[in-house]
Amino acid sequence: MIRVADDGPVRVITLARAEKRNALTPEMLAEVTRVVKEAPASTRVIVLAGEGSVFCAGFDLALCAAHPDGSVMRALLSGLSALIISLRDFPGCVVVAAQGGAIAGGCAMLGGADVVVTDRGAKFGYPVLRIGVSPAVSAPFLGVGAGFGPARARMLDTGLIDAERARAVGLVHEVVDGPGGVLARAMEVAKGLAEKPPTAIATTKGWLNEIEDGLRGVTPERGLAVSMGLTGGDEEREGLMRAVRR
């Protein structure tokens, strides 16, 4: 459910489940994480993209509802956390091409990016509280990227925001006119970054990560534990059933 292509020093990882708006499964998350970690030494930039009209609509809620014990939700949350950490630990740059929008788990993945490109019609947000799931797994990454005030608002408000608002709060960095231009611009950015001295990039990114670790004051593992603590409960089961019936 993903595709991988190497374009010189740029590795392009594409979520390839357009018929489900690239809804995430545990297997997809594990595979993207593996491909990031196993990128050859010659890879200087990773581009994360999605097929179709939407980059990623979040977790596959029908799959979660089919396992009311919370096992799939737990696998998704742990897989999401592992993926974001792997993107942040990658010594080169990470560019996300988020056409159409990034919702819930899709929005959380932006926390692993150095640059996010989107289009003016895209939507972003964390509506997971509606189904009794906490977006706490995203908080350590969103808080340092967008600031803890905007992060608090986004996590407690289940509404979505548009691309310009997302840029204003730091969720995205570049906005192009239409969805068709998002990947092309992301590749331009990636190739420009790939031309930079790799040791300087890796050293700078490592230092930025160290600063952000200090600003967070809590570990990503703690955020994951908070989210995992709600899985399999009555609120989640009822919320998932409402979501899949819509």
Q: What is the mean pLDDT of residues 218-222?
A: 70
Confidence of residue 215 (pLDDT cuts 50, 70, 90): low
The pLDDT, as a whole number, for residue 137 is 79
3-state secondary structure of 86: helix
Instruction: Give the distance, in angstroms, between the CA of residue 16 and the centroid of all CA atoms in the same chain.
Output: 15
Residue 103 backbone phi and psi in degrees, to 5: -115, 140
Summarised one tens digit per residue, pLDDT across range 28-51 is 999 999 999 999 999 999 999 999
Q: With a threshold of 0.75, does the pTM exceed it?
A: yes
In this predicted structure, what is the pLDDT of residue 84? Answer: 93
And the tokens for 154? 């986004």
User: With 70 as the cut, is the pLDDT of residue 146 above it?
Assistant: no
Q: Is the dihedral of CA 244, 223, 26, 74 positive or negative?
A: negative
The whole-number pLDDT of residue 74 equals 93
Q: Quick one: pLDDT at residue 238?
A: 73
pLDDT at residue 234, rounded to an integer = 72
pLDDT higher than 70, residue 145 = no
Cα gap 101→118, rounded to integer Å: 7
What domains sit in the chain, N to C, each tagged with a CATH number?
A: 2-199+214-245 (3.90.226.10)
Task: Write the pLDDT tens digit of every residue in 86-140.
Answer: 999 999 999 999 999 999 999 999 999 999 999 999 999 988 888 778 787 777 7
